[in-house]
Amino acid sequence: MMSSKTMRRAVQCQIVLAVMVSLPAQVRAQQVQYVFDQRMPGAYEDVMKLTSMGVIPFRGPDGGNFSAAIAGELQALRIGTNPVFNIRTEESGAAPGKSRALADANYVRSAGGRLGVKGIVWGTIVSATVGSQKYVGAAQSCSNNTCQTVPVDCVKYEGSYTVTPTIYSVETGKIVYTRQLKKDSVTDVCGGQVQKTSLGDIFSGWIGKKKEQQALTTDSILTAMRLDAAKAIVAEISPHSMKVKVGFKAKFPEFDKPTQATLSDAVAQLKSGRADKACGIFESLGNGVNTPQLNLLFNLGACYEVNGNTKVALQLYQTYDSKMTKVDPMINDALKRLGAIK
């Protein structure tokens, strides 16, 4: 039979265990998680302000072909169903060489005036080469359950594509984006079939589909590298979206009962997927960074994050964090999500 002291210890352990087990559920009950597609800005936000852009022929080898490729990628860029840019091209007239007296800035402003656009995409193809080398490879040939290694004719294609794209503001003549991008490729073809290639995104549909496979040539490799480079540039400057899970506080002990009921309605709107209505209620009861009620202050930050204004969201989150003395996993998650802490 246990002594009274032992029994007290056993009861205490049970109480502590019960609290530990119920804690995650309690934490979950204090928040509502809202999942949405958050728009992330591109690496160069100033480019997004140039809603109409003209693409003029690039200098250097393959310049005209690359201009057409990047114009197509820019034209296809969408946010939802809406095009990001209105793209215009100028087929006639070669771009000036480096030795031309007319300054680049003046030239692009003149081109922008002719095309009626806010930005000009222009640049130089530094190199666009594809070499090929024949060699004898090996393959397995099987017949009647017997396999043997046989020689097979192979070709190794090695390509190099270097481009320096530049985007100018027509209004100021200033550069808003520039970089040098290099794409190298190695593709092995044996017996007319692609064995391996570094251009996976372009040729991935060819590998393993022997009957549908197209013949590779130096021109097709060059086309693939050109498209790969154009896609990489557009991906760098364009915004994208990602799934984000944002937590909202669900309890508001600092308010009176009628106001708590109103805030509970806002939480119900969140659960139904209507962050717009919920945030309208939160904002009507708050006062920005001067909101004294901490849970409401946190939710105001979450509302700005959902609406895409991460700068103000971070200010509100940091104000909340500065007033907190206890550990709050929700604010830690929010600050990590916005890059304020690692």
Tens-place pLDDT, residues 217-228: 889 889 999 999
Band the pLDDT of 206: cuts 50, 70, 90.
very low
Higher-confidence position of 81 and 303? 303
What CATH class does 250-337 carry?
A: mainly alpha
Tens-place pLDDT, residues 268-301: 999 999 999 999 999 999 999 999 999 999 999 9
Residue 53 pairs in a beta bridge with 87, 119
Q: Is 275 exposed, middle or buried (0-12, 13-18, 19+ CB in 10 A)?
A: buried
pTM of the model: 0.60
- E strand map for the chain: 31-40, 52-55, 78-79, 82-83, 86-89, 119-143, 146-169, 175-178, 181-190, 193-197, 240-249
The segment(s) of the chain belonging to CATH 3.40.50 are 45-240
Does the structure show a pLDDT above 90 at 83? no
H helices, E strands: number in the chain: 11, 11
Tens-place pLDDT, residues 52-77: 999 999 999 999 999 999 999 999 98
Tens-place pLDDT, residues 159-185: 999 999 999 999 998 999 999 999 999
Task: Write down the pLDDT at residue 45.
Answer: 79
Q: What does the longest C-alpha to C-alpha distance in the chain come to?
A: 104
Q: Does domain 45-240 have CATH number 3.10.50?
A: no
The segment(s) of the chain belonging to CATH 1.25.40.10 are 250-337
